[in-house]
Amino acid sequence: MTAQTIKSKAAVAWAVGQPLSMEIVDVMPPQKGEVRVKMIATGVCHTDAFTLSGDDPEGIFPCILGHEGGGIVESIGEGVTSVKVGDHVIPLYTPECGECKFCKSGKTNLCQKIRETQGKGLMPDGTTRFSKDGVEIYHYMGTSTFSEYTVLPEISLAKVNPEAPLEEVCLLGCGVTTGMGAVMNTAKVEEGATVAIFGMGGIGLSAVIGAAMAKASRIIAIDINESKFDLARKLGATDCINPKDYDKPIQDVIVELTDGGVDYSFECIGNVHVMRSALECCHKGWGESVVIGVAGAGQEISTRPFQLVTGRVWKGSAFGGVKGRSELPEYVERYLAGEFKLSDFITHTMALEQVNEAFDLMHEGKSIRTVIHF
Ligand code: NAD
Ligand code: AHE
Ligand code: ZN
Ligand code: ZN
Protein backbone atom coordinates (compact mmCIF):
# COMPACT_ATOMS: atom_id res chain seq x y z
CA MET A 1 0.00 0.00 0.00
CA THR A 2 1.31 3.45 -0.89
CA ALA A 3 2.14 5.57 2.15
CA GLN A 4 0.08 8.71 2.79
CA THR A 5 0.83 12.02 4.47
CA ILE A 6 0.44 11.52 8.22
CA LYS A 7 0.04 13.74 11.25
CA SER A 8 2.91 13.77 13.70
CA LYS A 9 3.62 15.33 17.04
CA ALA A 10 6.74 17.48 16.71
CA ALA A 11 8.69 20.11 18.63
CA VAL A 12 9.10 22.94 16.13
CA ALA A 13 11.82 25.59 16.36
CA TRP A 14 9.97 28.49 14.74
CA ALA A 15 12.76 31.04 15.24
CA VAL A 16 16.22 31.53 16.76
CA GLY A 17 16.31 31.56 20.53
CA GLN A 18 12.63 30.76 21.03
CA PRO A 19 11.48 27.77 23.04
CA LEU A 20 10.41 24.84 20.90
CA SER A 21 6.70 24.69 20.26
CA MET A 22 4.67 21.47 20.34
CA GLU A 23 2.73 21.11 17.12
CA ILE A 24 0.90 18.53 15.06
CA VAL A 25 2.68 18.65 11.72
CA ASP A 26 2.12 16.94 8.38
CA VAL A 27 4.77 14.46 7.34
CA MET A 28 4.72 13.51 3.66
CA PRO A 29 5.33 9.95 2.53
CA PRO A 30 8.89 8.95 1.73
CA GLN A 31 9.86 9.66 -1.87
CA LYS A 32 12.26 7.68 -4.07
CA GLY A 33 15.23 6.48 -2.01
CA GLU A 34 13.67 7.75 1.23
CA VAL A 35 12.37 6.15 4.41
CA ARG A 36 9.81 7.33 6.97
CA VAL A 37 10.76 6.40 10.52
CA LYS A 38 8.70 6.30 13.69
CA MET A 39 10.94 7.65 16.40
CA ILE A 40 11.05 5.70 19.65
CA ALA A 41 13.54 7.86 21.52
CA THR A 42 15.96 10.71 20.99
CA GLY A 43 18.73 12.24 23.01
CA VAL A 44 19.25 15.99 23.27
CA CYS A 45 22.77 17.04 22.28
CA HIS A 46 24.50 20.36 22.84
CA THR A 47 24.55 20.87 19.07
CA ASP A 48 20.74 21.15 19.08
CA ALA A 49 21.05 24.00 21.59
CA PHE A 50 23.90 25.52 19.57
CA THR A 51 21.75 25.72 16.45
CA LEU A 52 18.72 27.02 18.35
CA SER A 53 20.91 29.74 19.88
CA GLY A 54 21.66 31.25 16.47
CA ASP A 55 25.39 30.47 16.58
CA ASP A 56 25.15 27.93 13.76
CA PRO A 57 25.79 29.52 10.36
CA GLU A 58 23.69 26.73 8.86
CA GLY A 59 20.76 27.27 11.24
CA ILE A 60 17.57 27.67 9.25
CA PHE A 61 14.08 28.18 10.66
CA PRO A 62 11.41 27.00 11.10
CA CYS A 63 12.89 23.59 11.55
CA ILE A 64 12.57 20.40 13.57
CA LEU A 65 15.77 19.85 15.55
CA GLY A 66 17.13 16.58 16.95
CA HIS A 67 19.79 14.23 15.60
CA GLU A 68 20.42 11.55 18.26
CA GLY A 69 17.56 9.16 17.67
CA GLY A 70 16.46 5.58 17.47
CA GLY A 71 13.37 4.46 15.61
CA ILE A 72 11.52 1.88 13.54
CA VAL A 73 10.93 2.01 9.79
CA GLU A 74 7.26 2.91 9.18
CA SER A 75 7.27 3.03 5.36
CA ILE A 76 9.74 3.06 2.49
CA GLY A 77 9.87 4.95 -0.78
CA GLU A 78 10.46 3.63 -4.28
CA GLY A 79 13.70 1.77 -4.81
CA VAL A 80 14.62 1.40 -1.14
CA THR A 81 16.26 -1.98 -0.65
CA SER A 82 18.53 -1.82 2.39
CA VAL A 83 15.79 -1.44 5.03
CA LYS A 84 12.22 -2.67 5.32
CA VAL A 85 9.18 -1.80 7.41
CA GLY A 86 9.79 -2.79 11.02
CA ASP A 87 13.58 -2.55 10.94
CA HIS A 88 15.24 -0.79 13.87
CA VAL A 89 17.35 2.12 12.71
CA ILE A 90 19.56 4.91 13.95
CA PRO A 91 19.38 8.13 11.88
CA LEU A 92 22.73 9.34 10.59
CA TYR A 93 23.61 13.00 10.22
CA THR A 94 26.73 11.73 8.50
CA PRO A 95 25.34 9.42 5.81
CA GLU A 96 27.28 6.76 3.96
CA CYS A 97 26.50 6.42 0.26
CA GLY A 98 29.51 4.22 -0.46
CA GLU A 99 30.02 5.76 -3.88
CA CYS A 100 31.07 9.42 -3.52
CA LYS A 101 34.72 10.50 -3.61
CA PHE A 102 34.75 10.79 0.17
CA CYS A 103 33.23 7.38 0.84
CA LYS A 104 35.60 5.77 -1.64
CA SER A 105 38.70 7.53 -0.29
CA GLY A 106 39.00 5.25 2.71
CA LYS A 107 40.26 8.36 4.54
CA THR A 108 37.12 9.90 6.00
CA ASN A 109 33.58 9.23 7.18
CA LEU A 110 32.38 12.57 5.78
CA CYS A 111 30.16 11.34 2.92
CA GLN A 112 29.27 14.38 0.81
CA LYS A 113 26.58 12.86 -1.40
CA ILE A 114 23.73 14.92 0.13
CA ARG A 115 25.69 17.40 2.28
CA GLU A 116 24.63 20.48 0.31
CA THR A 117 20.86 19.96 0.57
CA GLN A 118 21.19 18.63 4.13
CA GLY A 119 22.89 21.88 5.18
CA LYS A 120 19.97 23.81 3.69
CA GLY A 121 17.41 21.84 5.68
CA LEU A 122 16.15 19.98 2.63
CA MET A 123 15.87 16.44 1.34
CA PRO A 124 18.20 15.52 -1.54
CA ASP A 125 15.57 16.56 -4.13
CA GLY A 126 15.59 20.09 -2.69
CA THR A 127 12.21 19.94 -0.94
CA THR A 128 10.98 19.34 2.60
CA ARG A 129 8.67 16.62 3.93
CA PHE A 130 7.39 18.63 6.92
CA SER A 131 4.69 21.30 6.98
CA LYS A 132 2.17 22.87 9.31
CA ASP A 133 -1.01 24.39 7.87
CA GLY A 134 0.75 24.67 4.52
CA VAL A 135 3.86 26.39 5.97
CA GLU A 136 6.98 24.43 5.07
CA ILE A 137 9.24 23.36 7.93
CA TYR A 138 12.92 22.58 7.35
CA HIS A 139 14.76 19.40 8.26
CA TYR A 140 17.79 19.58 10.58
CA MET A 141 21.05 17.70 10.05
CA GLY A 142 19.08 15.42 7.76
CA THR A 143 17.51 13.75 10.80
CA SER A 144 14.90 15.91 12.67
CA THR A 145 14.42 13.44 15.49
CA PHE A 146 12.25 15.76 17.61
CA SER A 147 9.27 14.50 15.61
CA GLU A 148 7.24 11.36 16.16
CA TYR A 149 7.70 10.61 12.44
CA THR A 150 10.60 11.80 10.32
CA VAL A 151 11.77 11.18 6.77
CA LEU A 152 15.38 10.41 5.86
CA PRO A 153 17.31 9.32 2.80
CA GLU A 154 18.02 5.60 2.86
CA ILE A 155 21.75 6.35 3.00
CA SER A 156 21.18 8.16 6.30
CA LEU A 157 20.05 5.12 8.24
CA ALA A 158 22.03 2.50 10.09
CA LYS A 159 20.08 -0.74 10.54
CA VAL A 160 20.77 -2.08 14.01
CA ASN A 161 20.09 -5.20 16.06
CA PRO A 162 16.41 -5.09 17.16
CA GLU A 163 17.42 -6.55 20.53
CA ALA A 164 19.07 -3.26 21.47
CA PRO A 165 16.81 -0.90 23.44
CA LEU A 166 16.33 2.15 21.23
CA GLU A 167 15.82 4.23 24.41
CA GLU A 168 19.54 3.72 25.09
CA VAL A 169 21.23 3.10 21.74
CA CYS A 170 19.77 6.36 20.42
CA LEU A 171 22.80 7.88 22.16
CA LEU A 172 24.97 6.13 19.59
CA GLY A 173 23.35 8.39 16.98
CA CYS A 174 25.67 11.15 18.13
CA GLY A 175 27.24 11.71 21.55
CA VAL A 176 28.64 8.38 22.61
CA THR A 177 29.89 7.36 19.17
CA THR A 178 31.45 10.79 18.71
CA GLY A 179 33.46 10.69 21.92
CA MET A 180 34.50 7.04 21.75
CA GLY A 181 35.22 7.22 18.03
CA ALA A 182 37.37 10.34 18.33
CA VAL A 183 39.62 8.45 20.75
CA MET A 184 39.68 5.12 18.94
CA ASN A 185 39.48 6.13 15.25
CA THR A 186 40.66 9.71 14.96
CA ALA A 187 43.46 9.77 17.53
CA LYS A 188 43.98 6.00 17.74
CA VAL A 189 45.03 6.27 21.37
CA GLU A 190 47.32 3.40 22.28
CA GLU A 191 47.82 1.43 25.50
CA GLY A 192 49.78 3.38 28.08
CA ALA A 193 49.17 6.80 26.47
CA THR A 194 48.36 9.90 28.50
CA VAL A 195 45.15 11.72 27.63
CA ALA A 196 43.50 15.03 28.59
CA ILE A 197 39.80 15.52 27.89
CA PHE A 198 38.25 18.98 28.15
CA GLY A 199 34.51 19.09 28.92
CA MET A 200 32.67 16.31 30.76
CA GLY A 201 29.35 16.40 28.93
CA GLY A 202 28.06 13.47 26.92
CA ILE A 203 30.89 13.79 24.43
CA GLY A 204 33.78 14.18 26.86
CA LEU A 205 32.56 11.36 29.11
CA SER A 206 32.32 9.10 26.07
CA ALA A 207 35.89 10.04 25.22
CA VAL A 208 36.79 8.96 28.77
CA ILE A 209 35.20 5.56 28.07
CA GLY A 210 37.14 5.33 24.80
CA ALA A 211 40.41 6.19 26.54
CA ALA A 212 39.74 3.62 29.26
CA MET A 213 38.97 0.97 26.63
CA ALA A 214 42.23 1.88 24.88
CA LYS A 215 43.99 1.32 28.24
CA ALA A 216 45.38 4.84 28.46
CA SER A 217 47.62 5.09 31.52
CA ARG A 218 46.36 8.49 32.58
CA ILE A 219 43.03 10.10 31.72
CA ILE A 220 42.80 13.71 32.88
CA ALA A 221 39.25 15.10 32.91
CA ILE A 222 38.87 18.87 32.88
CA ASP A 223 35.65 20.76 33.61
CA ILE A 224 34.53 23.91 35.41
CA ASN A 225 31.48 22.03 36.76
CA GLU A 226 32.77 19.66 39.42
CA SER A 227 29.45 17.81 39.64
CA LYS A 228 30.60 15.98 36.49
CA PHE A 229 33.64 14.47 38.17
CA ASP A 230 32.02 11.52 39.98
CA LEU A 231 30.84 10.00 36.72
CA ALA A 232 34.13 10.85 35.00
CA ARG A 233 36.00 8.90 37.70
CA LYS A 234 33.53 6.01 37.50
CA LEU A 235 34.12 5.77 33.75
CA GLY A 236 37.89 5.78 34.10
CA ALA A 237 39.26 9.29 34.63
CA THR A 238 42.39 9.13 36.79
CA ASP A 239 42.56 12.88 37.51
CA CYS A 240 39.79 15.50 37.61
CA ILE A 241 40.80 19.14 37.29
CA ASN A 242 38.86 22.37 37.59
CA PRO A 243 40.78 25.16 35.78
CA LYS A 244 39.22 27.65 38.21
CA ASP A 245 41.36 26.18 41.01
CA TYR A 246 44.55 27.50 39.38
CA ASP A 247 45.93 30.95 38.76
CA LYS A 248 47.87 29.88 35.69
CA PRO A 249 46.76 28.59 32.29
CA ILE A 250 45.39 25.07 32.50
CA GLN A 251 47.79 23.90 29.77
CA ASP A 252 50.72 24.81 32.05
CA VAL A 253 49.16 22.84 34.88
CA ILE A 254 48.76 19.77 32.68
CA VAL A 255 52.26 20.05 31.20
CA GLU A 256 53.68 20.06 34.74
CA LEU A 257 51.50 17.15 35.84
CA THR A 258 52.53 14.98 32.91
CA ASP A 259 56.26 15.57 32.52
CA GLY A 260 55.97 17.74 29.41
CA GLY A 261 52.41 17.25 28.24
CA VAL A 262 49.93 14.57 27.25
CA ASP A 263 50.12 12.30 24.23
CA TYR A 264 46.53 13.11 23.21
CA SER A 265 43.96 15.75 24.09
CA PHE A 266 40.32 16.24 23.13
CA GLU A 267 38.25 19.43 23.21
CA CYS A 268 34.62 18.53 23.88
CA ILE A 269 33.13 21.96 24.63
CA GLY A 270 33.15 24.21 21.55
CA ASN A 271 35.22 26.99 23.16
CA VAL A 272 38.04 28.28 20.94
CA HIS A 273 40.14 29.37 23.93
CA VAL A 274 39.92 25.89 25.42
CA MET A 275 40.85 24.46 22.00
CA ARG A 276 44.10 26.40 22.29
CA SER A 277 44.72 25.07 25.80
CA ALA A 278 44.01 21.56 24.55
CA LEU A 279 46.62 21.88 21.83
CA GLU A 280 49.19 23.49 24.09
CA CYS A 281 48.90 20.86 26.83
CA CYS A 282 50.18 18.28 24.33
CA HIS A 283 53.70 16.92 24.48
CA LYS A 284 56.34 18.53 22.28
CA GLY A 285 57.35 16.38 19.33
CA TRP A 286 54.28 14.15 19.11
CA GLY A 287 51.23 15.30 21.09
CA GLU A 288 47.97 15.30 19.14
CA SER A 289 44.92 17.40 19.92
CA VAL A 290 41.48 16.60 18.50
CA VAL A 291 38.80 19.29 18.20
CA ILE A 292 35.34 17.81 18.69
CA GLY A 293 33.44 20.82 20.09
CA VAL A 294 31.53 22.97 17.63
CA ALA A 295 32.26 26.70 17.80
CA GLY A 296 29.90 29.46 16.72
CA ALA A 297 29.86 31.50 13.52
CA GLY A 298 32.80 33.87 13.25
CA GLN A 299 34.91 32.14 15.92
CA GLU A 300 38.48 31.20 15.05
CA ILE A 301 41.24 29.18 16.70
CA SER A 302 44.76 30.45 17.19
CA THR A 303 48.10 29.40 18.61
CA ARG A 304 51.74 30.17 17.94
CA PRO A 305 52.71 28.24 14.80
CA PHE A 306 55.78 27.20 16.82
CA GLN A 307 53.44 24.82 18.66
CA LEU A 308 52.98 22.91 15.39
CA VAL A 309 56.55 23.39 14.15
CA THR A 310 57.65 21.61 17.30
CA GLY A 311 55.62 18.55 16.52
CA ARG A 312 52.17 18.98 18.01
CA VAL A 313 49.32 18.02 15.69
CA TRP A 314 45.91 19.70 15.55
CA LYS A 315 43.05 17.76 14.01
CA GLY A 316 39.26 17.47 14.20
CA SER A 317 36.68 14.73 14.35
CA ALA A 318 33.04 14.51 13.23
CA PHE A 319 30.85 11.66 14.49
CA GLY A 320 34.01 10.06 15.83
CA GLY A 321 35.23 9.30 12.33
CA VAL A 322 32.65 6.50 12.25
CA LYS A 323 31.05 5.41 8.96
CA GLY A 324 27.46 5.11 10.01
CA ARG A 325 26.03 2.34 7.88
CA SER A 326 28.98 -0.02 7.88
CA GLU A 327 30.42 0.64 11.35
CA LEU A 328 27.68 1.89 13.70
CA PRO A 329 25.85 -1.49 13.90
CA GLU A 330 29.08 -2.89 15.36
CA TYR A 331 28.99 -0.26 18.14
CA VAL A 332 25.49 -1.49 18.97
CA GLU A 333 26.80 -5.07 19.12
CA ARG A 334 29.63 -4.03 21.42
CA TYR A 335 27.12 -2.30 23.68
CA LEU A 336 24.96 -5.45 23.69
CA ALA A 337 28.05 -7.50 24.53
CA GLY A 338 28.50 -5.31 27.61
CA GLU A 339 31.73 -3.62 26.53
CA PHE A 340 30.32 -0.25 27.64
CA LYS A 341 27.19 1.05 29.32
CA LEU A 342 24.84 3.75 28.09
CA SER A 343 22.57 4.04 31.13
CA ASP A 344 25.21 6.08 32.99
CA PHE A 345 24.65 8.91 30.54
CA ILE A 346 20.90 9.08 30.85
CA THR A 347 20.35 11.44 33.75
CA HIS A 348 16.81 12.38 32.69
CA THR A 349 13.99 10.92 30.61
CA MET A 350 10.88 12.81 29.56
CA ALA A 351 8.16 13.20 26.96
CA LEU A 352 8.61 15.37 23.87
CA GLU A 353 6.27 17.92 25.45
CA GLN A 354 9.00 18.62 28.05
CA VAL A 355 11.82 19.08 25.54
CA ASN A 356 12.42 22.71 26.59
CA GLU A 357 13.19 21.44 30.10
CA ALA A 358 15.88 19.24 28.57
CA PHE A 359 17.54 22.36 27.15
CA ASP A 360 17.25 24.12 30.52
CA LEU A 361 18.87 21.16 32.32
CA MET A 362 21.72 21.17 29.80
CA HIS A 363 22.33 24.91 30.15
CA GLU A 364 22.23 24.63 33.95
CA GLY A 365 24.84 21.85 33.82
CA LYS A 366 22.43 19.43 35.56
CA SER A 367 22.16 16.74 32.88
CA ILE A 368 24.48 14.57 30.87
CA ARG A 369 21.85 13.32 28.46
CA THR A 370 18.11 13.71 28.53
CA VAL A 371 16.37 11.04 26.48
CA ILE A 372 12.96 11.90 25.08
CA HIS A 373 10.55 8.95 24.86
CA PHE A 374 7.80 9.17 22.23
P1 NAD B 1 27.52 19.50 27.18
O2 NAD B 1 26.96 20.86 27.29
O3 NAD B 1 26.73 18.36 27.71
O4 NAD B 1 28.96 19.44 27.89
C5 NAD B 1 29.90 20.45 27.82
C6 NAD B 1 30.75 20.38 29.08
O7 NAD B 1 31.79 21.37 28.98
C8 NAD B 1 29.97 20.70 30.37
O9 NAD B 1 30.22 19.71 31.34
C10 NAD B 1 30.54 22.05 30.80
O11 NAD B 1 30.54 22.22 32.21
C12 NAD B 1 31.94 21.99 30.23
N13 NAD B 1 32.56 23.31 30.05
C14 NAD B 1 31.99 24.44 29.56
N15 NAD B 1 32.91 25.43 29.50
C16 NAD B 1 34.07 24.92 29.97
C17 NAD B 1 35.39 25.44 30.14
N18 NAD B 1 35.67 26.70 29.83
N19 NAD B 1 36.35 24.63 30.63
C20 NAD B 1 36.06 23.34 30.96
N21 NAD B 1 34.83 22.79 30.81
C22 NAD B 1 33.86 23.56 30.32
O23 NAD B 1 27.84 19.27 25.63
P24 NAD B 1 28.00 17.93 24.77
O25 NAD B 1 26.66 17.49 24.29
O26 NAD B 1 28.89 16.99 25.49
O27 NAD B 1 28.76 18.54 23.48
C28 NAD B 1 30.06 19.07 23.63
C29 NAD B 1 30.50 19.76 22.35
O30 NAD B 1 30.67 18.80 21.32
C31 NAD B 1 29.50 20.78 21.81
O32 NAD B 1 30.22 21.85 21.23
C33 NAD B 1 28.79 19.99 20.71
O34 NAD B 1 28.22 20.86 19.76
C35 NAD B 1 29.95 19.22 20.16
N36 NAD B 1 29.66 18.01 19.40
C37 NAD B 1 30.46 17.74 18.33
C38 NAD B 1 30.30 16.57 17.61
C39 NAD B 1 31.18 16.25 16.47
O40 NAD B 1 30.86 15.32 15.71
N41 NAD B 1 32.28 16.94 16.29
C42 NAD B 1 29.27 15.68 17.98
C43 NAD B 1 28.50 15.98 19.09
C44 NAD B 1 28.69 17.15 19.81
N1 AHE C 1 26.71 23.62 10.90
C2 AHE C 1 27.89 24.02 11.62
C3 AHE C 1 28.80 22.89 11.98
C4 AHE C 1 28.14 21.92 12.93
C5 AHE C 1 29.05 20.73 13.04
O6 AHE C 1 30.27 20.86 13.02
N7 AHE C 1 28.47 19.56 13.15
C8 AHE C 1 29.23 18.34 13.37
C9 AHE C 1 28.35 17.41 14.09
S10 AHE C 1 27.85 18.02 15.66
C11 AHE C 1 26.84 16.82 16.19
O12 AHE C 1 26.42 17.10 17.43
C13 AHE C 1 29.61 17.66 12.06
O14 AHE C 1 29.49 16.47 11.86
N15 AHE C 1 30.10 18.41 11.15
C16 AHE C 1 30.43 17.94 9.84
C17 AHE C 1 29.45 18.46 8.84
O18 AHE C 1 29.59 18.16 7.66
O19 AHE C 1 28.52 19.18 9.25
C20 AHE C 1 28.66 25.08 10.87
O21 AHE C 1 29.61 25.62 11.45
O22 AHE C 1 28.27 25.38 9.71
ZN1 ZN D 1 25.20 15.78 18.55
ZN1 ZN E 1 29.37 9.06 0.16
Quote the ligand 2 centre to 297 CA distance (angstroms): 11
Cα–Cα distances in angstroms (integers) from residue 33 to residues 154, 156, 215, in the given order: 6, 10, 42
Spell out the residues 6+ positions from residue 72 whose beta carbon is closer than 8 angstroms to its own.
37, 38, 40, 86, 87, 88, 89, 166
User: What is the model's pLDDT at position 1?
Assistant: 62
User: What is the model's pLDDT at position 206?
Assistant: 98
pLDDT tens digits, 28-62: 999 999 999 999 999 999 999 999 999 999 999 99
Q: How does residue 324 score in pLDDT terms, banded at 50, 70 and 90?
A: very high
CA–CA separation, 75 vs 142, rounded Å?
A: 17
pLDDT tens digits, 344-357: 999 999 999 999 99
Cα–Cα distances in angstroms (integers) from residue 163 to residues 222, 329, 337, 343, in the given order: 35, 12, 11, 16
pLDDT tens digits, 212-242: 999 999 999 999 999 999 999 999 999 999 9
The maximal CA–CA distance of the chain, rounded, in angstroms, is: 68
The structure's pTM equals 0.98
User: What is the model's pLDDT at position 77?
Assistant: 98
Of 55, 45, 312, nearest to 203 by C-alpha is 45
Cα–Cα distances in angstroms (integers) from residue 124 to residues 36, 127, 152, 266, 277, in the given order: 14, 7, 9, 33, 39
Arithmetic mean of pLDDT, 263-275: 98
CA–CA separation, 282 vs 241, rounded Å?
A: 16
Structural domains of the chain in order of their starting residue, each with its CATH number: 6-173+342-373 (3.90.180.10), 178-317 (3.40.50.720)
CA–CA separation, 110 vs 129, rounded Å?
A: 24
User: What is the model's pLDDT at position 331?
Assistant: 98
Query: Coil, strand or helix: which one is 13?
Result: strand
pLDDT tens digits, 301-322: 999 999 999 999 999 999 999 9
User: What is the model's pLDDT at position 123?
Assistant: 98
Of 78, 156, 159, nearest to 124 by C-alpha is 156
Alpha-carbon torsion 89, 122, 326, 65, what sign? negative
Q: How does residue 3 score in pLDDT terms, banded at 50, 70 and 90?
A: confident
Residues in the chain: 374
Active site residues: 45-47, 67-68, 97, 100, 103, 111, 115, 174, 369
User: What is the model's pLDDT at position 279?
Assistant: 99
Q: How many CB atoms lie within 10 A of CB 17?
A: 9
258 C-beta closer than 6 A to ligand 2:
no
96 C-beta closer than 6 A to ligand 2:
no
Ligand 1 cavity residues, CB under 6 Å? 45-47, 50, 174-175, 178, 198-204, 222-225, 228, 243, 268-271, 274, 292-294, 317-319, 362, 365
Of 126, 152, 184, nearest to 67 by C-alpha is 152
